[in-house]
Amino acid sequence: MATNKKINLISSTLKSDFIDSVGVSISNFQFSDIDFSNCFIFPGFCDVHVHFREPGFSYKETIKSGSLASAKGGYTAVCTMPNLNPVPDSVENLKIQKNIIEDSACINVYPYGSITVCQKGEEFSDLDGMAQDVIGFSDDGRGVQSDEMMRRAMIKANALNKPIVAHCEVNELLRGGYIHDGEYAKKHSHRGICSESEWLQIARDIELCKEIGVKYHVCHISTKESVDIIRKAKADGVDITCETGPHYLVMDDSMLQEDGRFKMNPPLRSKEDREALIEGIIDGTIDMIATDHAPHSAEEKSKGLEKSAFGVVGIETAFPIMYTYLVKPGIITLEKLIDLLVINPRKRFGIGLNCDYSIWDLEEEYLIDPKEFLSLGKATPFENWKVNGRCLATVCDGKIVYKK
């Protein structure tokens, strides 16, 4: 049967019972309109870094719209960042978000608890109280500036057997910048964000990890120095993993336009940085691809590079972009991409697979059109990019959660 052939394509990294359960699941559903001879079946993708904006900013995104968009992108598990209102810095505040997830998420949504109260970096959140209900601890959107605060956070997280998931950014080096401090910034008189603002804090945290031994994960790396530092840390035996985003792998600052949909944090870096990230993907320094899906309203993204909000959406375009621009040209294999989107993030964060999968037509070619997104956010730097790969259906926990 053609379906089994497609499943076997990825079976070397998956247990046979998962393969069997997918076969049973497919036979139980009425997918009569899908020609499986032209389809690939992948285990449910896992994104450890998304912003679903609820509670507090539901005009940007909701748990419901974010999870539906994820399902359309082939994702069945996501981890939501804590820059919300209220911030999940206590059991009471976390419960607000958990209740919404239980009521409206169509896929598995795992929240982070914040490291510090209101993410201000001044006093610790209730890490003990939240530990059993969060996937890890992060102040994403802000770097923890105090060395001593990060040291104590690592000690506490290590005792709770939870990872520290770090947005690495040295505030005093930002200097009002909003794009990469490179040729485009100089040519167009923009204020730049230097690479050191990212890698310097990664280097600091690695020294703390050597002292404490905590599970440590670095968010959205974007610089060649970050890749080099993390590669060496892994060789030294540090318990460290990291992610990068699709946009950093296929774009650089030479491709910037005077448009808010090209503004994210960290920014698109140089060609040399992009090439180093690809090398980091190939040699295993970079463990996973995460979208940093960060929706905003149309108004918030309509103010150009300087004044638009930081953040772009990406949960619905991640696989097509990676497949079209990394797999098809032979930069990485399809199985490697599945490792980056499924196997590695689930293993690192202890997220089970269950009977989660998506069905794809990899031959369908189309232009990315934000008007087709299920996410409330439409700002993507990939608008009008030609891609291959259309998700036809997604199944989570044995239920159809998306069908084209």
Question: Which residues are known to be catalytic?
Answer: 292
- Neighbouring residues of 145: CB distance < 8 A, sequence distance ≥ 6: 121, 170, 171
Neighbours of 272 (CB within 10 A): 12
CB 267 within 8 A of CB 193: yes
Of 247, 391, 272, 389, the C-alpha closest to 328 is: 389
CB 390 within 8 A of CB 384: no
Of 94, 93, 89, the C-alpha closest to 121 is: 89
Look at residue 330 and give its three-state secondary structure: coil
Of 63, 43, 139, the C-alpha closest to 103 is: 63
Rounded Cα distance, 314 and 69, in Å: 9
Rounded Cα distance, 389 and 392, in Å: 9
Bond from prior residue into 370 cis (ω within 30 degrees of 0): no
DSSP conformation letters of 208-224: HHHHH---EEE-S--SH
